[in-house]
Amino acid sequence: MGAIGTGPGRPVVFVGVRLLDGRSPDAVEDAVLLVAADGRIAAAGPARAVAVPDDALRVDGGGATLVPGLIDCHVHLTGAHEPTDAYLQRSATDMVVRALRTGRDFLGSGVTTIRDAGGATAGIRRAFASGEMPGPRTQVSVMYLSQTGGHGDGWTPSGADLNGALPPDLPSGICDGPDECRKAARLQIRAGADWLKVMATGGVYSLADTPDAAQFTPEELRAIVEEADAAGIHGVLAHAEGTRGIKNAIRAGVRSIEHGDLIDEEGIDLLIELDVPMIPTHLIMEEAVRPDRVAEGITPPWALEKIRTLIERQRETFAEAVRRGVRIAMGTDGVAESHLPTELALMAERGMSAHASLRAATIAAARLLGIAADVGTLEPGKLADIVLVAGDPLAEPGLWRDPARTILVAQDGRIVADRRGA
């Protein structure tokens, strides 16, 4: 990596690049992108049409392709692919350290903005925003909301609670009935949540349920949505894999459906009618079924069985949702040491065009997170969140699987990773 979090304090001009601004599938060859001293894009286009100040720092892209900084709408900064016994040894301090390290790694991989879907505190967001710690622009949902016995309940048959003792800035999200749901929602909001995360169905890594189990009643879900609306935060994102829970969540007014693996035609109709995006998270499935993770017990047999029933169905429902025109934003369920841009390759392999997958990780994601005025495209006035990749990601979307192809990352106009000399 280059000098994380540093910048020249003067204009920067990227020269010798192909420019994909996020809006058009047509690249501008021999392009220039000029970043003003305030970190915003001053000009972008053909070299012949951009006037470059004499004092600008020149960064030569060597013919690589410049794209907008990537946005991941579903990550877990405190998560990792590790055996349960290793997880149980982690203290709250260990989790903070992991979150800071993971955020740094995400940023270095080209992901300049994230939404954490549970487990990261508002303090992590503040640490990245301060500039003292390198990391993506971050929105948090603090602790996810779950019914008793639901996907976020850490109960085990032994009586142990895998969630353990939570620190004060991660209040418990276990709640039952509309009144308890309102209280739990307010606790997350008090702790600094930008979003509320609700478990509307069971899931793969929970012991007491299955992904197709509907969780929370419509009344409970509406109470949570109402609290988010009343507080003026971004809204509610819903972990929702099973058909009934997906539709309950959409009808209750959530802002996005996470995973959506078993969605049916009626669910797709509702997403389109109410213009609710889906965040498919293919990467977590690919990571979980890796033979080494299975052999080491990181993916336990009971979780692997659930995944195998979902994974082919997920590919079918995703392709159908894309064909029908559902709004898709990128999310990965990414955790420590997961290379997040891989999701773009997976979306392109499973039904989206390469350009549409890039838009899902830029324009569509920025719109969902309410930051489209500042990021998501490379055009004058936007913050200079940019990624330089070796090759053409529209002709070769598989390049996103190779971390070495991401050769430079800038956030707010500051170069935070530079591998051009490698």
Q: Which residues are catalytic?
A: 197, 333
State how far the alpha carbon of 61 is from the alpha carbons of 16, 31, 53, 79, 288, in Å.
5, 10, 18, 34, 35
Half-sphere exposure of 383 (CA within 13 A, CB side): 19
CA distance 228 to 171: 16
Distance CA 109, CA 103 (A): 10
Radius of gyration of the chain (CA): 21
- Vertex 143, ends 197 and 136: CA angle to 5°? 80
CB 384 within 8 A of CB 39: yes
Closest CA to 142 of 176, 99, 111: 99
What's the CA angle centered on 61, arms 59 and 63, to 5 degrees?
A: 150
Query: Do residues 193 and 187 lie in contact, with contact meaning Cβ atoms separated by under 8 Å?
Result: no
